[in-house]
Amino acid sequence: MQYEGAVKEDGRGKTIWDKFAHTFGKVADLSNADVAVDQYHRFEEDIQLMADMGMDAYRFSIAWSRILPNGTGQVNQAGVDHYNRFIDALLSKGIEPYVTLYHWDLPQALEDRYNGWLDRQIVYDFAEYAETCFEAFGDRVRHWVTLNEPHTVAVQGYDAGLQAPGRCSLLLHLYCRSGDSATEPYVVAHNFILAHAKVSDVYRKKYKAAQNGELGIAFDVMWFEPMTNTTADIEAAKRGQEFQLGWFADPFFFGDYPASMRSRVGDRLPRFTAAEAALVKGALDFVGINHYTTYYTKHNSTDLVGRLLHNTLADTGTISLPFRNGKAIGDRANSIWLYIVPSGMRSLMNYVKERYNSPPIYVTENGKRRPPWRGGWVLDLKCGARSL
């Protein structure tokens, strides 16, 4: 949870990010999210600021471990009460809640019990948690985001090991104590897709008629421009997008992963049974897009990384950079990876429209990071704003 804080209050259970952030060497500046921006205590102030700004919608995340501290079983009523107050406060100001069910913070109990998203049991436990939220909040919440940036979790959490739970096989496990970068990202992604499909099925059968809501996923999507106009680089940019958005979105529209992934990943890429494919296809009511930047992409002709190890980057056969011939693709924001390229948004929207036959789209995250200044505002389009 990026903003809520209050990690030990009112019965909240421990999460994989609590453990990760408190493990020495995992966070460069030794910070953690124990307080963050303290929205748990300051949500009324935050919501008033939103109203003052004229906002009419707000996307926030529910902490799974605040609802079900052990991941399953006993419901924590204090957590339910908190989010009821939060939702009611938004609605009282005319602000529509857009609620994310999973924002990376898996209950540590499920990680300890069966390695979390690596095990098929997570599909059923996530559905139990989601249904608990539908029952508690669905009379007022119409827009549900089941998963936030599953691609980021699969790659950063199970391939590179840079985010919780910090699994990888890089450098022969000198960096991560456990994991397999060649297979685990694909297993986790598969379970994410099945989990959303299961939740969608439950919602449509039991809740949609009365609650009239919709369910989608917030996909993290960069746009890729070919480094050159060569066929190899044009194909590389297309392949890079298929290994990013297509990996997670294609199954919901076509019933399977992109052909380029089947070809390049081979048996390491899980397969859907006929029943699973039928459950997955059509299970998205809308496409959420988290888009921040655009990079140039070229074909990886040397594939040195692929010769040393198997991972998702090597599997794409691409190299993506924000520079071409020494010139940046756009002005850099206050993040080393984020370059401002407005045309990338238009290109991405057209891509989604054309590839998936004009689905409903919400831009669930977008913006740039800027340094704070004393007495002014810090604005993060993911989290709202607060006066300093």
- Identify the CA nearest to 13 among candidates 73, 58, 54, 61: 73
3-class state of residue 220 by DSSP: strand
Beta bridge partners of 363: 289
Mean pLDDT of all residues in 325-331: 97
**Distance between CA 41 and CA 9 in Å, rounded?**
11
The pLDDT assigned to 305 comes to 56
Q: Is the pLDDT of residue 253 over 60?
A: yes
| pLDDT(209) > 70 | yes
**Gyration radius from the chain CA atoms:** 21
172: pLDDT strictly greater than 70: no
CATH class label, 16-365: alpha beta
Report yes or no: 319 and 298 within 8 Å, Cβ to Cβ.
Answer: yes
Q: State the pairing for strand pair 318-321/294-299.
A: antiparallel
Q: Which residue has the tokens 């598969």?
A: 190
Using an 8 Å Cβ cutoff, are 386 and 310 in contact?
no
Among 85, 37, 86, which residue's Cα sits nearest to residue 59?
A: 86
What is the pLDDT averaged over residues 316-340?
96
91-144 tens-digit pLDDT: 999 999 999 999 999 999 999 999 999 999 999 999 999 999 999 999 999 999
Residue type, 297: T
Q: Helix crossing, 121-137 with 184-206: angle to 10°?
A: 40
**52 token code pair:** 């003052």
For residue 225, give the H/E element and its range.
strand 223-226
| Token digits of residue 189 | 């992604």
Higher pLDDT pick, 192 / 380: 192
Calculate the CA 317 to chain-centre distance. 23
Ramachandran angles phi, psi of 93, nearest 5°: -105, 10
User: pLDDT band at residue 304, thresholds of 50, 70 and 90?
Assistant: low
- What mean pLDDT is predicted for residues 278-298? 98
Annotated catalytic residue within 4, 111, 149, 184:
149
Active-site choice (184, 225, 276, 365): 365
CA atoms of 253 and 87, how far apart (whole Å): 32
Lowest mean pLDDT among 9-18, 31-40, 90-99, 203-212: 31-40
According to DSSP, residue 72 is labeled S
> Is the pLDDT score of 371 beyond 70?
no
Q: What is the predicted pLDDT for the residue at 378?
A: 37
Mention every residue, 6+ apart, whose C-beta is less than 8 A from residue 215: 144, 145, 146, 196, 199, 200, 203, 283, 284, 285, 286
Average pLDDT of the segment spanning 350-366: 98
pLDDT of residue 180: 96
Active site residue 44: no
